[in-house]
C-alpha cells in the first residue's frame, strides 16, 4: 500500500510536468496537435491538463485594491506590477502585457521551484 506522502509527491510531480509541457507548447509556436504528436501525448489529455492548470491559476489570483492617489504622474515603470513568487523570484509586468504569455512564464517558473 502506498503511503500518502508518496501519492502527494506523485501528484506534485504530475502537476509540475504538465505545467512545463503547457508552457513549452505555448513557447514552441506549434499547434497543440503537432506538439502532442511530436511528444507522443494524447491531445485530449493535454487539453484536460491545460484546463485544470488554467482553473487552478484563476483560483490562486488575489483581487487587489489601490488605496490613495499617486503623488506624482505615473510613468511606465511606476505603473508596472511586481509579482513576488514563493521561491524568492519576482516578475515585473508592465502595462499592456499579454496575459497568456504571463501565464506561460509563471508556469515555467513554478515548474522550476
Alpha carbons 17 and 52: distance in angstroms, whole number = 13
Alpha carbons 109 and 113: distance in angstroms, whole number = 6
Each domain of the chain, given as residue ranges in start order, spans 4-65+79-112
Residue of 82 and 37 predicted with greater confidence: 37
Residue of 74 and 3 predicted with greater confidence: 3
Q: Extract the C-alpha cell encoding 113.
A: 521551484
Residue of 6 and 62 predicted with greater confidence: 6
Alpha carbons 36 and 21: distance in angstroms, whole number = 10
Residue pointed to by grid coordinates 509579482: 83
21-77 tens-digit pLDDT: 999 999 999 999 999 999 999 999 999 999 998 888 766 656 666 666 566 555 555
Q: Among candidates 74, 29, 24, which has minimal Cα distance to 53?
A: 24
Q: Among candidates 45, 41, 57, 39, which has minimal Cα distance to 107?
A: 57
91-100 tens-digit pLDDT: 788 888 877 7
The reply to whether the predicted model has a pTM over 0.75 is: no
Residue 20 in this model has a pLDDT that exceeds 70: yes
Residue 23: exposed, middle, or buried by beta-carbon count in 10 A (0-12, 13-18, 19+)? buried
Amino acid at each position: 500500500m502506498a503511503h500518502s506522502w508518496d501519492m502527494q509527491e506523485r501528484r506534485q510531480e504530475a502537476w509540475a510536468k504538465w505545467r512545463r509541457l503547457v508552457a513549452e507548447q505555448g513557447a514552441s509556436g506549434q499547434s497543440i496537435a503537432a506538439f502532442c504528436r511530436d511528444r507522443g501525448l494524447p491531445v485530449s489529455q493535454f487539453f484536460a491538463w491545460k484546463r485544470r492548470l488554467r482553473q487552478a491559476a484563476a483560483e490562486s489570483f488575489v483581487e487587489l485594491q489601490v488605496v490613495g492617489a499617486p503623488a506624482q504622474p505615473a510613468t511606465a515603470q511606476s505603473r508596472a506590477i511586481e509579482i513576488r513568487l514563493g521561491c524568492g523570484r519576482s516578475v515585473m509586468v508592465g502595462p499592456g502585457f499579454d496575459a497568456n504569455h504571463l501565464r506561460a512564464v509563471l508556469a515555467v517558473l513554478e515548474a522550476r521551484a
